[in-house]
Every structure is written in C-alpha cells, then in structure tokens.
Amino acid sequence: MKFKTFAAFVGPSIFLMLLFIAFPLISVFWQSFNVTQPLYEQIEVENCTPGFLTQTCETEIQTRPMLDENGDIITRTDFVGLQSYRNVLEMERFWTAVKDWSWSGIQSIDFWKALRFTLMFTLVTLPLVVGFGLAIALVINNAAKMIRGPVIFLSLLPFIITPVIGALSINWLFRGDGILTALLEWWLARDLALFAQAWTIELMMMFYRVWHVAPFAAIIFYAGLQTVNQDSLESAVIDGANRWQRLRLIIVPHLMPLIIFVAMIHLMDTYRVFEEVVGFRSQGYVISLQWLTYDFLTPNEAGIRSISRASASAMLTMIGIAILLVPLLKRTWRDHKGTH
C-alpha cells in the first residue's frame, strides 16, 4: 500500500485521537501541577439604614474577586508541583489512621473511601460478568434454532438500556415502596430499608452492573463458540468426558483470548464507575473515583471549581486502570509471542 493511500485512511483517525484524547490528556496532566485561583481585592462598602432624620451609615471592608473590563473574574495560575496530589491523597491523615488501626478514619478520607469502593466494585463484578456472560452464551448456543433469535433479543435488552436509565429503574424498584421492596417485605414479613446502609446500596449497584454488562460478554462469547473445533468436542464425548470437563478443558481454553478481551473492557469501564453513583443517589454512603473527580469540578458557593484537584484525581484514576491492566496485557503479550 502506498504511503499516500495509507495516510488517507489513517490520517483522520490519528487527527481525531490527538484532538479528543491526546491533547485533553496532556492538558489534564499539566493542570494537575497548577492551581488557578481568583484574585481578590478589599473595598469599602457603605451601608445606610432607611430613614431621613434617623439615618445612620456604616462603612465596612469587604473582600471581593477582582473583575476585568468584561465583568469576568481575574485569575492567577501558579505551579504547585505535587501539592494537588497531596491534597487529594491526604497521606498524613491516611498514615495516622493506619497507625491507629482506624478503618473509619481511612473511610473518612474521600479518596481512600472512593478507592475502596471502586476496587471492590471492579474486582467483584469482573468474575460475575464473565461467568454469567459465558452461561448466557452457552444457553443461546444450545437453544433450538426456532427460539434462538428471541433468546438473543431478550438477553440483549439490559445492555441496550441507557446506563443511567437502567440504574434509576433498579433504584425505583428497590427504593421505599418499590415493587421488589414490597415483595421482599411480604416474603420476609418485616420492614426493609435497603438504602439506609452502605453495604446494601453497594450490593444493588453491583447487581445492576452485572445485569447490565453480562449480555455484552455473552454476545462476545457466543461468537467465539461458533469457532470451537467440533472434532475436539466429538472426540471428548467419545472418550467419556462430561459437559463440565468439555467446558473446562476445551471450550474455556478456546475462549481465553475473548475472556481476556472482555476482562480488559470491563476493568477499564468499571473502574470509571459513575452512572451507578448518580442513579442510586449513593453520594452520602458510597462514592467512586470518577464521581470524586466530578465533585471537585462542581462549583462551590463562590462559583469556583477545584480544577487542579479534579485533574489530580483523574490522573490517579488513569494510573489505577493502568495497574489493573498490566497482568492482562502481560498475558496477551505472552500469547502473542507464543504464536510467532
């Protein structure tokens, strides 16, 4: 292929990746080392009480942000190095809590509270998504041809639903006098408050994630099942292998590259969990790293966003994703070298 032809095909993709991925990433990385603050000035303000003969006036000094000619707040950017990361991590409080064996002290720090939930949410849902996805794929693959289409359609419905809408739907089913809460209260003969404790909220959020993502894994695995060597399966049947042995010794090794692919996609997506926190309104009990970044970007009473801390939180989130992906990438690299 000629270079001009190659450039014509690849050039637009590279340009868009630089524009929407590389440049924003560089900008976030740079902003994490800088703090932008408004400039303030002190002015005299005279306040007078109403009245004619009894009117009294007092002068007080007020501090207000400086405005430019257009009425916008004047800001100043200072390079602070790793200070934004220190503000997010709060390592002094963290080590003090560790020395005191105080789990509540660690959980009182927003970053470590969000990191604990994010890691638990990611690592617990990963095997469940892979397991349920493989089970659904096997059901579809073994279904009769007449009903295979409807089975695929029904299994894909959770994945088609918009994430926030799906999270809100599960929230409404379990919150207050929701249908499922009412059924559980009738079955257990007791009142339930599933949103009054952090651990019940986390369980529902994990349930929603598995319910929503397992169909995606199922379709990937179903496609892989179509390429399984039938001769190997027939030979295993002749040798007396049962279904579990055929699954463990033939099907799963054949699907291992797809399992790694699904695991990588799931890790990257789940570590950035955000929809569940918003949909379940769990900010008072459970927060994630992605939600923490969003919270830093939310303006305070003065209308100021903590962009530097949000950038530091975003970079720490990316570092966490990279660390989780290292074992899978090493496995993929070994498999790639083994085929050459």
Run of H or E residues at 79: strand 75-79
Largest CA distance in the chain: 111
- Name the residue among 304, 296, 300, 298 with its Cα closest to residue 74: 304
pLDDT recorded at residue 72: 75
| Assigned token pair, 5 | 């032809």
Residue pair 194/109 in contact (Cβ under 8 Å)? The answer is no
- Phi, psi for 35 (deg, rounded to 5): -120, 125
Query: Which CATH entry fits the domain spanning 116-334: 1.10.10.10, 1.10.3720.10, 3.40.50.620, 1.10.4080.10?
Result: 1.10.3720.10
The residues, any chain, with a CB within 8 Å of residue 110's CB and separated by 6 or more, are: 287, 292, 295
Reported pTM? 0.81
State pLDDT tens for residues 152-200. 888 888 888 888 888 888 888 877 777 877 887 788 777 777 777 788 8
Residue pair 78/35 in contact (Cβ under 8 Å)? The answer is yes
pLDDT recorded at residue 315: 92
Residues in the chain predicted with pLDDT less than 70, given as ranges, are 1, 51-55, 301-303, 336, 338-340
CA 261, 263, 268 angle in degrees (round to 5)? 100
Tokens 């008072």, located at residue: 284
- In angstroms, the CA 60 to CA 270 distance is 53
pLDDT recorded at residue 114: 92
pLDDT recorded at residue 123: 93
Domain ranges of the chain: 116-334
| Assigned token pair, 146 | 């007449």
- Residues, the chain, total? 340
**Angle in degrees, 0-180, between the axes of helices 198-225 and 145-160, rounded to the nearest 10:** 140
pLDDT recorded at residue 218: 93
pLDDT recorded at residue 331: 83
State pLDDT tens for residues 88-133. 998 898 999 998 888 888 888 889 999 999 999 999 999 999 999 9
pLDDT recorded at residue 69: 76
